[in-house]
Every structure is written in C-alpha cells, then in structure tokens.
Amino acid sequence: MISFVLGIDDLADTRFALSPLHETVLSLRVLRDPGRFALHLSWRRQVLDLLTASDAEMLLALVGDRLTLPDFLTPRPPAFAPDFGEELAAVGRTPPDLVRRDLLAAHAPDPPPRPLRDVPAAGDARIAELRDTVCALLRDYWELAIRPAWPRMRLVLEADMTYRARRLAMGGARLLFAGMHPNLRWEDGVLHIADMIGRHRVVAGGRGLLLVPSVFAHKPAPPVSPDEPPLLAYPSRGVGTLWTRPPAAEPAALASLLGAARARLLLLLDEPLPTVELARRLDVTPSAVSQHLRVLHATGLVNRARAGRHVLYRRSGLGDGLAAAAR
C-alpha cells in the first residue's frame, strides 16, 4: 500500500491536470497486456499494425511485468493542460542517474529486458543516449497512436474532472476519493492506495496533490518512487464510450419538432452533463452544442446550473415529458 499524508494546505492545493504525455506512456500498458484493457482492443489492433517490430520491442520494454512504468517518463505536468512537446522536453532533461534508477525500479526484482539489458552497468553517456532514443520513439508514437484521438480523449477527461469537482463540492475529499476507485480510501487526512507494489508513506508537506485522469489507467497509479511529489493518475469515467459511434437518429416525431440535432441532444440529458461531454458523445464541436442548448434552454426544455468552470445541463420537466413520449 502507498499512502499520501495530506495536510490542510495540501488539500487546498489539490487540483487536476490533463497530460498528453501521461496518456501516451500509460497506453503502452494496453499494448503489453490487452487482457486488462478490453475497451481499447480495437485501438490496440490499429496501433500495432502501424508500429515497426523494433519500435514495438523498445516501447514494450519500458513496461515491467507488473505493468510498472519508469517515473521519469511521467513527470508532474507543469500546467493544467501542457503541450506534449513541453512535457517530453522535460523528460529529455532527466539526469542519467534518475533514468537508470527508474528503468531498474520498473522491472525490479527482475533484470531489465533485452533492449535495456546494458542499463545496470552502462555509464552516464550511454544512459543519456538511451533516454534520447526513448524520447524520439515516444514522439513518433504520440503522432501515430495518440494525437489523432487526443481531442476525443480530452473531452472524456474534461467531463470526468467536471464530475469529480462536483463531488468535491458536495462532500469534500471523502466523497471525491470514495467514488474514484475501490482501491482508494480516505481516512484521517491520509489517502491510502491499495494493491500497490510499493510499500511507502509520502508526506506531502505543502506540495499538494495532483490528480490526473486517464483513459488508459485501469487502477490508481501513483509514482513508483517515494521521492516523487504526490501525484495520482486514475481511471477516467466515460471510457466505454470513447471508441463508440454517435447515437443513431432519434424518433421522427421529436426530430421533426426540434430538428434531429436538438432531439438527439435532449434525449442525452438524463443526467446533468457539461457541454464538452455532450460534444464528445455527439462527435461535434462544443460551440455547435452550445447553440442548440441555448435554444433548448430558452424554450424551457432544459435547465442549467454552474459547477466550477462548467455549466451543467439537464432536461426540465417539460423536456422529460417530450423525451418519454418519443421513446
């Protein structure tokens, strides 16, 4: 079990971030162990068809047998939504001794696999060369496997953060962590993360806690090293709809009354949802959704309320009646 001891200042500095680099690195687990990631199998097949054998071997060598990853590949995001190149540049500046430490820790107690077999005895120059090779591979992999789907992934992640922020507002840290994953337990100012290889306790000491939702995380994933500041990548909500097509056209009567786009939108609002999540589910731009929502709100078919940075929309009683009749 890994534990984060969070004081009052740390809770006040608990925040979310999006990380294209984290998603790129965590997705390597899907390539390594598809049995744990059934929702991503179609994506995995497409990616493996595009990778060369040598590139795939090196990328998979970064993942330990227990799906551990080197900490230096997932540095703390420097902003709420950093650029991939900015994050990768930070990886490229990692000192060789930390690169060596993290590569060995990811595979411990076993020796590193064939592409990394010289890491234990390699000098700093060789480790720096290996680090630069990995950075180049990750850049190419990002362009090939993650960047084409990143806009859709980002909408899923932003919708998750809106939901989590609402739970934090309703019930504080206890409610936030209780609904995040069964492996998380909040008790007396300490966040306990079960089912971990590591067994250490990290005192945040004013560094706060950074929460990073991920479409490729199958369980909460803190840094492997106890020397890293508190960070937690966790499974995002909504991943099951990431690779699905938009819903089919709605019943003709409601579509004739409202138009097909607004009818489809109205039927999605069984629960409060932000614009970004609606846009993701309909595979359209947030601005297009906003235009339709303004009309639906002006006619009394939806209600809206602000939650943090987002406005949540839900059908009104009148909208419920129309939706029930259409169904």
Q: Are residues 179 and 300 both part of a single domain?
A: no
Structural domain ending residue among the three candidates 207, 235, 263: 235
User: pLDDT tens digits, residue range 224-251?
Assistant: 888 888 999 999 998 988 887 655 545 6
Angle formed at CA 213 by CA 75 and CA 97, multiple of 5 degrees: 15
Q: Is residue 244 in a domain?
A: no
In a domain, 241, yes or no: no
162 and 227 in a common domain: yes
Looking at the domain assignment, is residue 142 inside a domain?
yes
Closest alpha carbon to 54 in 2, 113, 115, 5:
115
Give the C-alpha separation, 217 to 26, whole Å: 7
Grade residue 86 by pLDDT with cuts at 50, 70 and 90.
very high
Which tokens belong to 66?
């227990």
Angstrom distances, CA of residue 239 to CA of 43, 88, 154, 235, 281: 12, 25, 11, 8, 11
Q: Using the predicted structure, report yes or no on whether residue 58 has a pLDDT greater than 90.
A: yes
Last residue of a domain, one of 202, 235, 268: 235
Distance, CA of 196 to CA of 221 (rounded, Å): 8
Residue 256 has pLDDT above 80, yes or no: no
In a domain, 243, yes or no: no
What is residue 95's predicted lDDT score, i.e. its pLDDT? 97
Would you state the structure tokens that stand for residue 55, as one six-digit string? 């590139």
Whether 187 and 109 share a structural domain: yes
Q: Can you give the pLDDT at residue 309?
A: 74
CATH number for 261: 1.10.10.10
- Segment (H or E) for 321: helix 317-326
133 vs 265, which has greater pLDDT?
133
Same domain? 94 vs 211: yes
Beta carbons of 10 and 128 less than 8 angstroms apart: no
Q: Domain for residue 86, yes or no?
A: yes
Q: Is residue 147 part of a domain?
A: yes
- Sign of the Cα torsion 162, 22, 3, 182 reads positive
Tell me what pLDDT residue 18 has. Answer: 94
Specify which of 139-143, 237-241, 271-275 reaches the highest per-range mean pLDDT. Answer: 139-143
212 and 257 in a single domain? The answer is no
Task: Give the structural domain span for 142.
Answer: 2-235
Is the same domain home to 296 and 175? no
**Whether residue 218 has pLDDT greater than 70:** yes
Question: Looking at the structure, do residues 136 and 259 belong to the same domain, yes or no?
Answer: no
CB atoms within 10 A of CB 7: 14
pLDDT of 248: 52
- Asked whether residue 27 falls in the same domain as residue 159, the answer is yes
**Taking residues 37-53, what's their average pLDDT?**
92
Question: Do 117 and 67 fall into the same domain?
Answer: yes
| Spatial CB neighbours of 144, under 8 Å, sequence gap ≥ 6 | 47, 50, 51
- pLDDT tens track for 143-179: 999 999 998 899 899 999 989 988 888 888 888 888 8
pLDDT at 315 over 60: yes
* 282 and 144 assigned to the same domain: no
The per-residue pLDDT of the chain, averaged, comes to: 89
Same domain, 155 and 263: no
State how far the Cα of 299 lies from the Cα of 70, in Å rounded to an integer: 54
Contact assessment for residue 39 and residue 240, using Cβ atoms and an 8 Å cutoff: yes
Q: Please, which pLDDT band fits residue 306 given cuts at 50, 70 and 90?
A: confident
Q: What are phi and psi of 107, to 5 degrees?
A: -105, -10
Count of domains for the chain: 2
DSSP bridge pairs for 249: none
**Do both 231 and 258 map to the same domain?**
no
Q: Tell me what percent of the residues of the chain surpass a pLDDT of 90.
A: 54
Q: Decide if 222 is inside a domain.
A: yes
71, 64 contact by CB (below 8 A) = no
Residue 39, domain member (yes or no): yes
Q: Which of the listed residues 194, 210, 235 is the one where a domain comes to its end?
A: 235
